[in-house]
Amino acid sequence: MSEIEKKFYVLRAVNGKENKVKEYLEAEIKNNNLQDYISQVIIPTEKIVQNRNGKKVYKERAFLPGYIIIEAALVGEVVHFLKNINFVIGFLGGNDPVPLRPSEVSRILGKADELQEQPEEFDVDYMVGEIVKINHGPFTGFHGEIEEIYPDKKKLKVMVKIFGRKTPLELGYLQVEKE
């Protein structure tokens, strides 16, 4: 039997339900022996760093919210099967699904891979003498001048005026923001 030609298509899903759709799709593909028609289900994601209570928290979120990329051969009942999955709105392109061009696929998947592999460390360029505002901790809202920078520890020594006296504070990069 010859290999069925598959192309990449974009499914529109309810925002925030992409993972549920992917899980359900993968289970249904196995249960209904559709591996010959649908080979990949991809949710392009990116890693982001958030500041929660002064700590770095790494999260993964959808790079293209509400969209799922599938590699499939849309023959027979496959289109109907895909459209009728819970939380799926339909294909990008309406009733007549349009396959992505190879350049679009490589750009989307390449961009997603690039975002996944980004180094988790981030560098913020602070300079000695710069004025910063403290955004976390007991001194939230205070302004201070950077005295020293410790890039290996991702910390700053900031001179803050408290009760009319300059007081040195050692703060993390995420505890301050540029003015």
Pairwise CA distance, residues 18 & 68, whole Å: 7
- C-alpha distances in angstroms, 85 versus 98, 99, 139, 173? 19, 19, 51, 45
Confidence bin at 123 (pLDDT 50/70/90): low
Mark whether 88 and 156 lie in a shared domain.
no
Mark whether 109 and 140 lie in a shared domain.
no
Average confidence score pLDDT of the chain: 84
Encoding tokens for residue 168?
């040195």
> Number of folded domains in the chain?
2
Q: What is the pLDDT of residue 56?
A: 75
Mark whether 112 and 135 lie in a shared domain.
no
Report whether 65 contacts 16 (CB < 8 A).
Answer: yes
Q: Is residue 125 part of a domain?
A: no
pLDDT at 59 over 70: yes
Mark whether 13 and 79 lie in a shared domain.
yes
Mark whether 100 and 17 lie in a shared domain.
yes
Q: Is residue 126 part of a domain?
A: no
Q: Is residue 98 part of a domain?
A: yes
pLDDT tens digits, residue range 29-38?
Answer: 899 888 888 8
Pairwise CA distance, residues 172 & 141, whole Å: 15
Mark whether 31 and 95 lie in a shared domain.
yes
Mark whether 108 and 135 lie in a shared domain.
no
Task: For the chain, give the DSSP string.
Answer: -PPPP-EEEEEEE-TT-HHHHHHHHHHHHHHTT-TTTEEEEE--EEEEEEEETTEEEEEEEESSTTEEEEEE---TTHHHHHHTSTTEEEETTTTS--PPPHHHHHHHHHHHHHHHTS-S-------TT-EEEE-SSTTTT-EEEEEEEETTTTEEEEEEEETTEEEEEEEEGGGEEE-
Q: What is the pLDDT of residue 1?
A: 45
Pairwise CA distance, residues 87 & 82, whole Å: 11
Mark whether 148 and 106 lie in a shared domain.
no
Give the range among 33-47, 118-132, 144-158, 160-174 with minimum mean pLDDT. Answer: 118-132
CATH number (domain holding residue 84): 3.30.70.940
Encoding tokens for residue 152?
């290996």
* Structural domain for 163, as ranges: 131-178
Mark whether 103 and 166 lie in a shared domain.
no
